[in-house]
Amino acid sequence: MTDVAKWTAYLLDAERDRRAVEPITLTDPGLDAADAYRVQDAIIAAKVAGGDRVVGAKLGLTSKAKQQAMNVDEPVYAQLTSSMTLPGEVPLQVSSLIHPRVEPEIVFLLGAPLAGPGVCAHDVLEATAAITCGLEVIDSRYADFKFTLPDVAADNASSARYVLGSTWIDPHSADLALIGCVYEHNGDVFATASGAAVLGHPAEAVALLANFVGSRGGRLEEGWIVLSGGLTNAVAVAPGDHVTATFGRLGTVRLACV
């Protein structure tokens, strides 16, 4: 039996102390995905009890680039809270995290609730108020970002911060699969991709998320921000770095690190 309370405290302490820890499965190889998501829920409940607020959700490990880099071949779901929001133009304080990495994403703003079963990409676009681009700052609580799927699910999919672009478009006004992304780190192109990098179409990723959340008795709420997954591998950042993702019609999103 997995001790959910123990692993919840383990990961919350690591985040608070900015200290990387060993993966849970190293000492508890029996940790399965269901238990892992119970740990994630308990972490979010503790944050909400401390005054934080759930403002959205995300799917991770939706692109081949990310799955290969992290050596996990299945997507992972996580929850976003208000304390993770970095307002535009506010730099990332690298020392506030353990070992942050940054990745470019296509972001949905929901105009209606969504929950599976049976949600398809078309339903997602119908329920979406607007689309923008974003940068997600991930910060695995595990040493060297080494984890299995249950480990990363328990760790709220490495979620730490996110920043949104300022250009919002109608979800029907562009083919999101064809939106290109040029991702630069300190002025050099680090990677390029298009929206199709996440499960063929970013709305497919959100559909998967809605069906997963529905299968656990939850739903994605109106007004939520949904991150559809890193289009490219993430880049490790240090103080003084800056990253820029340019997304054609979705505009540009930048993050400076101090």
Interface residues with ligand OOG (CB under 6 A) are 60-61, 66, 70, 103, 136, 138, 140, 145, 152, 157-158, 229-230
**Nearest CB to Mg ion, comparing residues 110 and 160:** 160
Based on the shown chain and the rule CB under 5 A, indicate whether residue 230 belongs to the binding site for Mg ion. yes
CB 180 to ligand OOG: min, Å = 18
In the bound state with Mg ion, the residue whose beta carbon lies nearer, of 136 and 155, is 136
Confirm or reject binding of residue 60 to Mg ion (CB under 5 A).
Answer: yes
Closer to Mg ion by CB, 60 or 171: give it. Answer: 60
Residue 77 binding: pick among Mg ion, ligand OOG, none (C-beta 5-8 Å cut-off by kind)? none
Q: Which residue is nearest to Mg ion (CB)?
A: 136
Residue 139 binds to Mg ion (criterion: CB under 5 A): no
- Nearest residue to ligand OOG, using CB? 60
Binding residues for Mg ion, how many (CB under 5 A)? 3
Q: 14: which residues sit within 8 A by CB, 6+ positions away?
A: 20, 21, 98, 141
